[in-house]
Structure 1
Amino acid sequence: MEDNRQQRLLERELYQIEQIRQLDSEELEIEEVENGHQSSDDDQIDERAFAGTSASGGYTFNTSLASMHSYLGEVEDTHNRLAFLDGGVILHVPLFYLEGVVLFPEATLPLRVIQPNFIAAVDRALRQVEAPYTIGVVRVFRDGDNGRIKFATTGTTAEIRQYRRLEDGSINVVTRGQQRFRLKRRWIELEGAPCGEIQIIEEDLPLRTPRDAFGKLTPLRNLSTANVSHSKLLDHDSDDSFESELSLTERRLHASAIKSSSHRNFFSESTSSDDESPVCEPQPLLHSRNNESIEDMSAKKYVSERPRRRAQREFRSVPGPRECPRAFWPYWVYRMHDSYCLAQRLSDMWKKIVGTPSMDALVRQPGLLSFHVASKIPVSESTRQELLEIDGISYRLRREIELLENFDQIKCRSCQTLIANRSDMLVMSTDGPLGAYVNPSGYVHEIMTLLKASGLALIGVPTEEYSWFPGYAWTVAYCATCEYQMGWLFTATNKKLKPRSFWGIRSSQVADDTH
């Protein structure tokens, strides 16, 4: 029985490798792809947080070892750092298409290049002038209906940071994601290197809540008496004001709202439950009891002079208006799209759910934070491809918050068997709870690490050869229900090494049940 299972598992693994090799021999015609719609240094991530968490959990494994990809052997630094390209730039670069992998800017991608066409692609990247040491990485997947290979139209450029050419002609490479791009078309060059025409995506700027920009302006309670012209209000603090970032049409609308507010001097409390300061809006005064405007009450012709004076007294009894931003919408509306507020919320949620790596150093860079979380969030590869294709920073941050809120269980994609819960996650690398690793056959796996797992069976004996986690031996694990390979069990070979064991689960085999 065990021999039969082992044989079936080996056949599945060979079949997966053969699927990738089919891409070598497949005749890829030039194909037009339908158009679709900054960085920091490595030391921006506070890696001290990993050591603190590991120590508190009693773990002795050095998590920085896994991110070094030492199993690739010695590699040489290229000493090349490509300057970031402007959005809209069109390039011709060698193309790497990988199954089960989604690369994000700033993420590390190790490669063991064995296939002749990809060796030719690396050679072309090393000698090209237009974008030296740069390749384009796109995800490939098989259509569920007919099994045909399909290419994602959004990918990421990767810069070759380290490489080593081995005696057998293969190349070990360590790359780092740079910038997103749209794949325009692809072809095979004469020497066999797959290439593509790509267009660099122009990343948007983080959205800001105008509250800070308005904080220095005259409060609405003084507008009726302040001897300040409307034009001067718009010009005040123009260097960093909210109005200076608006288009001409948006500025006119905002100016109209300010002008309307200056004549009426109305005040209403914010509807936000977590915003203590009131927010001013250009709307009629609301009665404090039934939220019915006094103008509407007048229209109904049943408000006498006495109730009117009582309403005015009640309004005056409300604490006096504070200096509030002169924005058209309530503050809580802006916070829904404010990139910095969302970044702080995502960082706090990550710290609570995942723990490490710490995201505090990236909160002030919402765009970089959104890519950083997307490259490490333990969800399926199709969901991560969805995150890569989102253009707006605030929308990507909101989607990641939603994913963390809904992320609770890890299930087998094939049979929906429950493998683990969110609480079983374990960070074994400075790259976070999910990272990319390459096996001796050149197949790249993105795995999430778990302390506990269920519904899995082991095959074969533990081996230390080519282990992604130094000091641990690996054993192939497959789903006990559908017998698809789910990943590996890693067991410590040193009695002093903790944790004693953990699981590595392939993200490509995880069910996509997030909403």
Structure 2
Amino acid sequence: MADNERLLARERLQIEQIRALDLEELEVEEVDDDYNDDSSADDAAATGRGMADEYTFNTCLASLHTYLGEVEDTHHRMAFLDGGAVLNLPIFYLEGVVLFPDATLPLRVIQPNFVVAIERALSQVDAPYTIGVIRVYRDPNNRSIKFANIGTTAEIRQYRRLEDGSLNVVTRGQQRFRLRRRWIDVEGAPYGEIQIIEEDVPLRAPRAAFGDLAPFSNRKGHSFPRAMPSHASRGNSNGSMDVDNDSEANSDESFESALSLTEKGIHQSAIESYYGSDVSTSSDGEKSEFLSQGSQSKDSDSTDSLHSCPESLVDLGSSSISEMQSSKQKDPSSWRNTDYKQIRRVPRAFWPYWVYRMYDSYCLAQGVADMWKQIVGAPLMDGLVKKPDLLSFYIASKLPVSESTRQELLEIDGISYRLRREIELLQTVNLLRCKTCQTVFARRSDMLVMSSDGPLGAYVNPYGCVHEIMTLYKATGLALVGSAVKEYSWFPGYAWTVTNCATCETQMGWLFTATKKNLKPKLFWGIRSSQVSDDLH
């Protein structure tokens, strides 16, 4: 009973403090069973986009980090380092922060050893103006400090020396790296030996790969549906990605129409062998070219691809095809008496086209962009769809998930695999919970874009602590602590008030309230990603 009275007292105090800010009247929201209603989530997302049309806040201001004061541009843009390169860099260990390539990271450098690290980075020869950023975290079992093995290089874009010897710095994420070893130099600056990770190239459905891939076994060994699995569909009403849409560009028919006669015969034969169609529907010329092409597949090198198969199957296919070819050469009329069931028992090359599209980086990128637009609405990412590698990092850096999940995304090698994981997260992540007590405080559809960098970004306070926060246009179950403060606001024109979880009293983030009546939105919430639960449902 005492706990309930204390919770009610906090809520009353919260209402009084918000109303004292001379803003419009607010309704107190409570978590109920409607949070599990998908249609409600969709309505909330639509409401959020509608509200965004009325906003007067200039989102470019937040991305400039004007609270750091005047900072000088270094006018230095370093070329990307070669994949596999090994070098020594000053290392920044940050708790609660996961830096991705192309993301902005502001720093307020106060500690002398880190000031030395920045000074070294500005003058080093191998990679000037570059530092390494690694996430550190506490082991939940024994509270010991752990270091991530994968981090991101950050290029110093702007900096300013203050009279007290501290530095204000704005950096930009560049390339992923593996931390090989770390140490402290004689002046106390943290250093690490890193190896740049070589990123892969975005994959398309491999039309040019026909005839160069090893065959796969017959339908008895595979059970694939004719349509794309529902978990990889794009853009339907429940937020999933429907890859098999009606556009001609993505249809199997348009794909086959672009193939040569040989390629078409091979591809069609593979589908026929799986679905049990009569091979005799093909012309003799197509059969002949298919067999000729299939006999060459034995020597192809595809052990690392999706289409690889045991060597015994390759040998079986080649020998069977060779025997039939030899028979045809001796007696052309005997070809008409060929047992086509025997042909269907021969392992065929190539999967149906929807299998290729499951790993087509550009197809996956379009699906992720469509889903993100449904949830957030802005900013538009049409340009990034053409650059799946950058899009995969952008989405990973903005997802409303815990820092451990974001570290998982950073460590994924392969653009297609990272995009597929992001699709899975966008489909499953709905409720946002407190990491400490699992209390629901918002939905993913409550995300609000208050920065041109997106709905989640890094900001630094006067004491040098970096916080990654997600901005929400509404939240519940949070209690205000103290009064609103205008100084050092991350969002110009807004005052900030510390907010705690009303259940466990853990600091969750801040409430930002407009200081001018014509500034919209009137208020919004900034929640620390480090305080978001790993529970994704």
The normalised TM-score by structure 2 is 0.69
What are the equivalent positions in structure 2 for 1:468-479 lying under 5 Å apart? 468-479=490-501
The alpha-carbon distance between structure 1 residues 294 and 187, as it changes in their structure 2 partners (threshold 3 A), is closer
Residue 79 of structure 2 corresponds to: 83
Residue 196 of structure 2 corresponds to: 200
Compare 504-513 and 80-89 and name the one that shifted more.
Answer: 80-89
The alpha carbon displacement at 1:364 in A equals: 1.6
- Conserved? CA contact 1:230–1:259, under 8 Å: no
Residue 168 of structure 1 corresponds to: 164
The alpha carbon displacement at 1:148 in A equals: 0.9
Residues 1:353 and 2:383 are matched in the alignment = no
Residue 148 of structure 1 corresponds to: 144
- Conserved? CA contact 1:183–1:196, under 8 Å: yes
Q: Which residue of 472, 488, 506 maps to 1:450?
A: 472
CA distance in 1 between partners of 2:323 and 2:62 (Å): 64
Residues 1:366 and 2:388 are matched in the alignment = yes
CA distance in 2 between partners of 1:284 and 1:501 (Å): 71
Q: Which amino acid aligns with 1:164?
A: R
Compare 74-83 and 487-496 and name the one that shifted more.
Answer: 74-83
Residue 118 of structure 1 corresponds to: 114
Residue 332 of structure 1 corresponds to: 354
The alpha carbon displacement at 1:341 in A equals: 1.2
- Conserved? CA contact 2:400–2:444, under 8 Å: no
Q: Which residue of 205, 225, 234 maps to 2:285?
A: 225
Alignment size in residue pairs: 407
Residue 389 of structure 1 corresponds to: 411
Query: What CA deviation, in whole Å up to 9, does each residue of 1:353-410 have, x standing for no partner?
Result: 1211222211121111111111111111000000000011111001101111011111
Residue 26 of structure 1 corresponds to: none
Q: Which residue of 129, 135, 150 maps to 1:133?
A: 129
CA distance in 1 between partners of 2:301 and 2:182 (Å): 42
CA distance in 2 between partners of 1:199 and 1:145 (Å): 30
CA distance in 2 between partners of 1:131 and 1:223 (Å): 62
Query: What CA deviation, in whole Å up to 9, does each residue of 1:239-282 have, x standing for no partner?
Result: xxxx89998996999999799899999xxxxxxxxxxxxxxxxx
The alpha-carbon distance between structure 1 residues 489 and 334, as it changes in their structure 2 partners (threshold 3 A), is same
- Conserved? CA contact 2:49–2:376, under 8 Å: no
The alpha carbon displacement at 1:474 in A equals: 0.2
Q: Which amino acid aligns with 1:428?
A: M
CA distance in 1 between partners of 2:398 and 2:344 (Å): 54
CA distance in 1 between partners of 2:496 and 2:340 (Å): 69
The alpha carbon displacement at 1:211 in A equals: 4.0
The alpha carbon displacement at 1:462 in A equals: 0.6
Query: What CA deviation, in whole Å up to 9, does each residue of 1:289-348 have, x standing for no partner?
Result: xxxx998xxxxxxxxxxxxxxxxxxxxxxxxxxxxxx96111111111111111111111
Q: Which amino acid aligns with 2:202?
A: P
| SS in structure 2 at match of 1:350 | helix
The alpha-carbon distance between structure 1 residues 195 and 53, as it changes in their structure 2 partners (threshold 3 A), is same
Query: What CA deviation, in whole Å up to 9, does each residue of 1:75-106 have, x standing for no partner?
Result: 11111111111111101000000000000000
CA distance in 2 between partners of 1:226 and 1:190 (Å): 73
Residue 68 of structure 2 corresponds to: 72
The alpha carbon displacement at 1:439 in A equals: 0.3
Q: Which residue of 259, 272, 289 maps to 1:216?
A: 259
- Conserved? CA contact 1:91–1:198, under 8 Å: yes
The alpha carbon displacement at 1:457 in A equals: 0.4
Q: Which amino acid aligns with 2:380?
A: S
Residues 1:95 and 2:91 are matched in the alignment = yes
The normalised TM-score by structure 1 is 0.72
Query: What CA deviation, in whole Å up to 9, does each residue of 1:179-213 have, x standing for no partner?
Result: 00000000001111100000000111122212476
Give the unaligned 5+ runs of structure 2. 1-5, 11-47, 211-257, 266-280, 295-299, 326-338
The alpha-carbon distance between structure 1 residues 437 and 504, as it changes in their structure 2 partners (threshold 3 A), is same
- Conserved? CA contact 2:91–2:192, under 8 Å: yes
CA distance in 2 between partners of 1:162 and 1:124 (Å): 15
CA distance in 2 between partners of 1:184 and 1:294 (Å): 52
| SS in structure 1 at match of 2:398 | coil
Residue 13 of structure 1 corresponds to: none
Higher fraction of helix: 2
| SS in structure 1 at match of 2:427 | helix
The alpha-carbon distance between structure 1 residues 199 and 461, as it changes in their structure 2 partners (threshold 3 A), is same
- Conserved? CA contact 2:291–2:321, under 8 Å: no
CA distance in 2 between partners of 1:255 and 1:430 (Å): 57
Residue 435 of structure 1 corresponds to: 457
Q: Which amino acid aligns with 1:402?
A: E
CA distance in 2 between partners of 1:429 and 1:409 (Å): 23
The alpha carbon displacement at 1:495 in A equals: 0.4
Q: Which residue of 401, 405, 411 maps to 1:379?
A: 401
Compare 131-140 and 354-363 and name the one that shifted more.
Answer: 354-363
The alpha-carbon distance between structure 1 residues 294 and 171, as it changes in their structure 2 partners (threshold 3 A), is closer
- What is the percent sequence identity of the aligned residues? 67
- Conserved? CA contact 2:376–2:447, under 8 Å: yes
- Conserved? CA contact 1:66–1:429, under 8 Å: yes
The alpha-carbon distance between structure 1 residues 259 and 208, as it changes in their structure 2 partners (threshold 3 A), is farther
The alpha-carbon distance between structure 1 residues 210 and 170, as it changes in their structure 2 partners (threshold 3 A), is same
- Conserved? CA contact 1:223–1:262, under 8 Å: no
Query: What CA deviation, in whole Å up to 9, does each residue of 1:426-457 have, x standing for no partner?
Result: 11111111000000000000000111111110
Residue 303 of structure 1 corresponds to: none
The alpha carbon displacement at 1:120 in A equals: 0.6
| SS in structure 2 at match of 1:67 | helix
The alpha-carbon distance between structure 1 residues 484 and 163, as it changes in their structure 2 partners (threshold 3 A), is same
- Conserved? CA contact 1:210–1:327, under 8 Å: no
CA distance in 2 between partners of 1:74 and 1:225 (Å): 74
Residues 1:59 and 2:55 are matched in the alignment = yes
CA distance in 2 between partners of 1:257 and 1:422 (Å): 51
CA distance in 1 between partners of 2:321 and 2:360 (Å): 24
CA distance in 1 between partners of 2:107 and 2:510 (Å): 19
CA distance in 1 between partners of 2:321 and 2:407 (Å): 45
Q: Which amino acid aligns with 1:348?
A: D
